[in-house]
Amino acid sequence: MDTGKNIWIQKSSRVIKGLIVSYLVSGAGLLLLALLLLKYQLDERKVSAGILAVYILSGLSGGIYMGKTAEREASYSFTEPYYYRDNCIVVKKGSAYENVKGLSDLAGTGCKVTTQLGTGWVPLLDQIEGAEQSGNYETTSECFMAISNGVADVCVVDLPTAQSAALTNDDLVIIQLDEDDSFTGDDEMVNVCIATRKDDTALRDKIQDAMDAIGWNDKAKMDELMDTVLTQQPAAN
């Protein structure tokens, strides 16, 4: 099989995997919301917030595959980013890594690191000097389970994903690394966009116009929306 075809297959696989992750997260989230609605008789405000949370978080789960990078722009057309997320690390409460401030605190500790397969987080693991690659997982839920069970010591993910997981996992600690002692080269992967076929700029422009019309081009507004969504998820109440 020629190199060009291999590259096309790999890129298509990433897109399909991103969609599958989003669909799985959406399905699981809506099922959980339905069960909570039946059990606790949630009011309309909480149900609406829950639905919004499910779709934003499912978009983030799959959106890592569609973040705008120079490489991907060669194959896809992207809207402007509608959300920016910081990367962070997650450790177990009470572990030797709970008070870590930056990557230098992890250097040489031999900590076992993990993250989600097929994402931009994987290369970041190499920036933790002397870390042991404990194996990566198909979903972030499996990553967090590995932290809780002691199979891994440090998980690298984005902040919204970590915050959502922490709502139902009391033994997880989220650490935002010091700006001067954090990951480098991850600027491209922290944006979340909507992608279309490379030649379908008309569709991309229509999507962008719709995003602009509802205020998705306002970073402060989107940050506030995400903060609200996270606090109003059923698991947070």
172: part of which helix (H) or strand (E)?
Answer: strand 172-175
* Same domain assignment for residues 131 and 183: yes
In this prediction, residue 90 carries a pLDDT of: 98
Q: 130-139 in b/e burial notation, b at 16+ Cβ within 10 A?
A: ebbebebbee
Q: Distance (Å, rounded) from C-alpha 58 to C-alpha 53?
A: 8
pLDDT digits (tens, 9 = 90+) for 29-39: 555 555 555 56
* Same domain assignment for residues 45 and 111: no
Residue 235 Cα distances to 1, 29, 62, 167, 193, angstroms = 48, 11, 21, 6, 27
Domain holding 214, by residue range, is 3-82+194-236
* Same domain assignment for residues 7 and 53: yes
* Same domain assignment for residues 155 and 202: no
Q: Examine the pLDDT at 209 and tell me if it is beyond 70.
A: yes
Counting the structural domains of the chain, the total is 2
Tell me which of 230 and 137 has the higher pLDDT.
Answer: 137
pLDDT digits (tens, 9 = 90+) for 164-202: 889 888 999 999 999 999 999 887 777 888 888 888 899
**Do residues 173 and 92 touch, judged by C-beta distance below 8 A?**
yes
What mean pLDDT comes out for the span 85-95? 94
* Same domain assignment for residues 91 and 56: no
* Same domain assignment for residues 98 and 173: yes
